[in-house]
Chain A
Amino acid sequence: MDFDFTEDQNMLRDLAREFLTEQVSVAHIREMMEDETGYDKDLYRRFLGLGLIPFPEEYGGAGFGMVESCIIMEEMGRIPYPGPFFGTVILAGQAIIQSGDENAMSRYLPDMANGDLVVSLAFLEDSASWTPATITATATKDGNGYKLNGTKRFVPWGAQADVLLVAARTGEASGPDGISLFAVQANSDGVEATPETMLDLNSRTATVKFSDASAELIGEEGNAWAGLDRAIQRAAVAASAEMLGAARRAHEMSVDYAKVRRQFGQVIGQFQAIKHKLAEMLEQVENAHSAAYYAAWALDADAPDATLAASVAKSTANEASRHVCGEAIQVHGGIGFTWEYDLHFYWKRAKHQEVFYGDSDYHRERVLQEVLAGNVAR
């Protein structure tokens, strides 16, 4: 039983932190908010160049598991990094890896690892729900390929992606059966991406409309749900780590501020109302840490409670980061409400990730289902 990181994992964290703190300045983050593309391609490539990529080694990755992915995402949450790393490497990467389709892996993963390809997963539709029943996009056979129709919502970096992975129906069934995964070249005919501006200006999304777009099947027809579910679970856990990083950073800033801001002749951290708030925030941050890394380990170890743990992690990180990043603003007072002060970055990144890959209601329901099915650690 060892809950501490290995020496290699600590080195990985140091490397990621050093690069991100040195290269992704506050000025850069602010510049990217106004930028049309929303990220710096060169910087993105240089980060990937560090080789911290959780793909299998034969496809250009470092063979990392979820624990390593979470370490990287936690560090990105502390910045918070503006760019398609999560969407491409974690979300789309896992969608391809979990599909089990080796052709697709060798075709896409190496180029995703070196930054040539930005790929995203187009899953959500109008109801913005992560359950399989909500998928209504359809794909019909057309020669060797397929023609895809439907509208996908909130596709991460959907307007910047070169390739879109799309969940669509190939059969009549309405639940998890009959869902297939397709790859669509973003620049092909019948693909129309409309970028949208979100609360977190550094997390870009798009609505993508497919009208008879040419699509290529990944994995088996009609059998994509199990792999997609695994990929979304992994995205949920990695997002939990990103939210943890944001919350930890917001908490640190608040503690620092409470030690210097003076009112009524004393620093505000001397007031119990502030001190106790900061203590509660620490408890929540530590709980989010325990939950995110337990889940990451459980997924890597294929533990019987891995799905349960993933849902516990996401609902815990959702609540913790929402509370901690929000209270951080309260601790700062007026300055915390200004655009110039960096605190709102964390609050908005956390809020962004909170609603994706399952909100708290979704994951609490999932927890109960897993418990009733006996998929627990005992």
Chain B
Amino acid sequence: MDLRYSQEDIEFRQKVRAWFEENLPKKKIESFEERREWHRKLYDAGFIGMGWPKEYGGQEARPMEQAIVGEEMARVNAPAGVNGLGISIVGPTLIHHGTDAQKDEHLKKLLTGEEIWCQLYSEPNSGSDLASLQCRADIDGDNFIINGQKIWTSGAHNSEWGLMLARTDRRASKHNGISCIMVKMDDPGVEVRPLKQISGSSEFSEVFFSDVAVPADNLIGELNTGWRIAQTTLSYERGGNTLSRVSRLQTTLDRLLEVAGELRVDGTRAIDDPRIRQKIGQIYSEVEVLRYASLRLLSKLEKGERPGPEASVSKLHYSELDKRAQEIIQEILGPYGQQISGAGEYAFDESDVPYGEADTWAYQFVWSRAGTIYAGSSQIQKNIIGERVLGLPKEIRADRIELEERRKEEAAADD
């Protein structure tokens, strides 16, 4: 065990820190185009797609270097770039399963933010049970004809492209009839309807497809292997960069300590109230444990080990911790935690500091409810941990019973 950063890592961190001091936007990013420009700057500095192969525009950086950039960005509350899903999901999907032509066409543009992508997986009736999806892609000559609906599509309104899972064989069992297809979001027949989230903003949408013609060349991998392809990239999403989450939480706690040093409860400063001290000590400890766990994961990644189903323990940990932390922060701040505007001296951000998305206590609180739903809900993570890490038997489910019965019928028919 040796948890020191190497000299190389320390120097790299200094370089990164200096870059952000120099280049951090001086004023708040207002428009998507401004954010795209900022993203381009991050890309030119070598901070985007860092782990990707060089031939596709990446840096082949070590996991530690990627983690350091994530941490440093969070430390100064740097605005996020664009195309998060494109870079974390679509890129790796193309790298692993795309044709050379598909890679040449998209990978570089995806990194630089020229092409923004969204993830067209979830449907109204297919969320956790994603494999039950019904949106169809029927082959018609050189095209797929797409009909159906997707929902909760983050960033759909800003995207040029979408990575879709669609049903291409309706007779096959549910996991075996799905394909992975690239769809242009401005094709005729695609309609994006933004949905308002509990945060009040519209970051995800529902997307309708009516007879949308998509070239058959847009298929990724083989026909009807979409489920397997999606599995490889969903695990990327779950691996996550937890150290940057830690930094973000630490930045939040730093501000909480400042506020607790000024806010008065029952005639004393909040920070002198033993009940509040216990609460802050509690979250601070939990965030430290997340940091230690992240270093443990990172040390495995550095050795080239890829976390398998254990990544679910990490996802469960950080998403549930975020909820606990935000609840405790709200308890401490009382009504000040709920202020959306008109916030004064106890607000989360200070207006002269450049920042990204999370700009009020209330906004952070609201967002903490999302992490345990997307990218596999906490219940799904617990199933994965129970079945694939601990080796407990799979649960008895109606769809499995149905499948079993169908297999029996087919076997009987064959006889």
Contact = CB atoms under 8 A, between A and B. Distances in A.
Interface string B273-315: 0100110111011101101110110111011000000000100
B187 interface: no
A263 interface: no
Given A308-B288, A367-B284, A267 B383 contact: no
Contacts of A272: 379, 382-383, 395
Contacts of A286: 293, 313
**Max count, chain B CB within 10 A of own CB: residue among A269, A275, A298, A372:** A275
Interface string A234-251: 000000000000000000
A371 B64 contact: no
A3 B1 contact: yes
Nearest to A289: B296
Interface stretch (B140-148, B329-337, B384-392): B384-392
Contact of B389 (A282, A290, A308, A367): A282
Nearest to A371: B284
Contact of B2 (A2, A267, A372): A2
B201 interface: no
B385 A279 contact: yes
Contacts of B316: 279-280, 283
A328 interface: no
Decide if the interface of chain A is mainly helix, strand, loop or mixed: helix
Contacts of A368: 277, 280-281, 284
Interface stretch (A32-40, A309-317, A334-342): A309-317
Interface stretch (A4-12, A72-80, A96-104): A4-12
B334 to A, nearest CB: 19
A287 B1 contact: no
Contacts of B292: 290-291, 294, 309
B327 interface: no
A80 to B, nearest CB: 23
Nearest to B279: A364
Contacts of A298: 3
A301 B392 CA distance: 40
Interface stretch (B4-12, B28-36, B172-180, B209-217): B4-12
Contact of B298 (A1, A269, A282, A315): A1
Contacts of B1: 2-6, 9, 67, 293, 296-297
A275 B394 CA distance: 10
A161 interface: no
B293 A364 contact: no
B285 A315 contact: yes
Contacts of A269: 386, 390, 392-393
B396 interface: yes
Interface string B363-395: 000000000000000010111011101111111
Given A282-B313, A283-B317, A309-B288, A1 B293 contact: no
Interface in B263-277: 271, 274, 277
Contacts of A280: 316, 382
A276 interface: yes
B250 interface: yes
Interface in A346-378: 361, 363-368, 371-372, 377-378
A324 interface: no
The contact size tier of chain A is 35 or more
B355 to A, nearest CB: 19
Nearest to B274: A365
A109 interface: no
Contact of A365 (B277, B293, B302, B395): B277
Contacts of B393: 259, 266-267, 269-270
Contacts of B9: 1
Interface in A1-59: 1-6, 9
Contacts of B295: 1, 3, 290, 294
Contacts, number: 156
Given A3-B296, A287-B317, A266 B6 contact: no
A105 interface: no
The contact size tier of chain B is 35 or more
A311 B302 CA distance: 28
Contact of A275 (B271, B274, B282, B386): B386
A276 B304 CA distance: 30
B129 to A, nearest CB: 15
A28 to B, nearest CB: 30
A367 B291 CA distance: 15
Nearest to B285: A312
A1 B64 contact: yes
A267 B271 CA distance: 50
**Max count, chain A CB within 10 A of own CB: residue among B299, B316, B390:** B390
B281 A270 contact: no
A278 to B, nearest CB: 6
A154 B299 CA distance: 41
**Max count, chain B CB within 10 A of own CB: residue among A1, A270, A311, A312:** A1
B60 to A, nearest CB: 18
Interface string B158-188: 0000000000000000000000000000000
A258 B302 CA distance: 35
Contacts of A259: 391-393
Given A1-B298, A2-B1, A301-B3, A278 B285 contact: no
A273 to B, nearest CB: 11
Nearest to B64: A1
Contacts of B198: none
Nearest to A320: B289
A1 B289 contact: no
B383 to A, nearest CB: 7
A270 B395 contact: yes
Nearest to A361: B278
Nearest to A291: B289
B343 interface: no
A95 interface: no
Contacts of B288: 291, 308-309, 312, 367
A301 B395 contact: no
A290 B379 contact: no
22 contacts: A1-B2, A2-B2, A3-B3, A3-B300, A4-B300, A6-B1, A67-B1, A255-B392, A267-B392, A271-B395, A275-B382, A275-B387, A275-B390, A279-B386, A280-B382, A287-B317, A291-B292, A297-B2, A315-B285, A365-B281, A367-B288, A368-B277
Interface of A: 1-6, 9, 67, 255, 258-259, 266-267, 269-272, 275-276, 278-280, 282-283, 286-287, 290-291, 293-294, 296-298, 301, 303, 308-309, 311-312, 315-316, 361, 363-368, 371-372, 377-378
Given A3-B296, A367-B284, 7 more contacts: A2-B2, A3-B299, A271-B395, A275-B383, A283-B317, A291-B288, A368-B280
Interface of B: 1-6, 9, 64, 250, 257, 271, 274, 277-278, 280-282, 284-286, 288-289, 291-293, 295-296, 298-300, 302-303, 313, 316-317, 379, 381-383, 385-387, 389-396
Q: 8 closest pairs, A vs B, by CB?
A: A364-B281, A275-B386, A279-B385, A269-B392, A279-B382, A3-B299, A294-B292, A290-B292
